[in-house]
Structure 1
């Protein structure tokens, strides 16, 4: 199959490589990212041309405006799409914009799935992503062989477009609040005079155990803030959560707090590009205490 893949960044590059390794021909347009090493792909001049040469078009882009530009902007996918082509947006964007984009593309005869992912760069490289899908069941089943090359936990959340994005927002709320909880607990224990590494080890054997405590707790102690998932991207996702909550009349007080802590991290030079586990640094500044000097 000829697959158009637009967005060969940290996540998109290994995802496209998995599809190429499975025997699919990748067609792409180069914007901000160069062609990744080891990826055999046909390079064309525009997103419209990607659509003309592809049976399926996948986008993996940073934010809502990027997806809108690539899909329905000048020389966008919509200008080259043929009836029956399936568009799969695997970015994490606004569910409201997703529904609007799906409606626009369907009027051109295309299919549309929103299929945001969780698992970060590690999951993208290991083809172990969690994939949350919104859209018609028939289109989901048609895309399932492709999804199976990218992830392990693949779920059709609902048959309306935007359902996948709603699930991804819920995921990002849980992850952010877990990061905040782990950071608070470790800063508290450390300032009280306990070794945070020992506290983390003890907690991993109890009900407080979590993947965030395991992975990001270790990052916080080791000061290992090279980005797996950047603060600025989690800021964006929590912004989508709060925007959607306002529209729905839902109160998300702890999500708002996590967003403010990420805002505080982002205000420090380079903080927006650090891993989201670096949220702990905002709490450290408020407490006048750093967990560890390891790695500094």
Structure 2
């Protein structure tokens, strides 16, 4: 029977910590138990107000799980993955048990190679359109992880999304406790967590179609407006249970890595998901029976700035 050892744990965790998380809160830990690698929720790194009862953390943990899967597969030691394996241990989000050794597929190699290059780019993108074949690959990436992805096409769809996103953003801006939590994760250049100024968006201006979280309060340079017709993706799942959130995180990361491999950048737009009324309005506007789990903007742009990560030793649990 195959078993992972400490080198497999470290390989999986080193990839896992590169996953995206809301406010770069990094709510994960990794451990080796009975020859399996486990992805754990770190209860001390949960967002109390912005996380929608753990939704944001579960998305991040799903993304970390996908990265860990790719790291193990790329080494020829793929895993069989069980999500939420034990109701008595809700902190265990995923258990990666060794499967039969085999060479990695080309897709696994490409996705794994993109992990270190993927990071949120909150700056304006160029107006170059994303080719149709790449859009198809993004949709297929979501489907491969049990999720769906709608790419909004045309100004009617974009304007409708813009109204929902701005409405949700106004609700969140009026919540002083919510804004206080956001500030604690902002301008963290001297730390290993949160959003540094270099990686933050500029503040939203009246002409912007999509609201931005201006973490650092920076104004943009003249002539650097955001794209007039951005490509917006809305990713969702059939349900809205804890399992759906983890599945959505895996799908989101697979989409983002596929985009990175195609030379694209992306940034999350979570406001319409965080406000229940806006989320339901978004679902109805898409004509979907499932639930949206994340929206994001994607396109071609200048290289961005990665957010910091905690040291590997800090995320390994005993």
Both structures adopt the same fold (TM-score exceeding 0.5): no
Rg (Cα) greater in structure = 1
Higher relative CO (Cα under 8 Å, sequence separation at least 6) belongs to: 2
Normalising by structure 2, what TM-score?
0.25
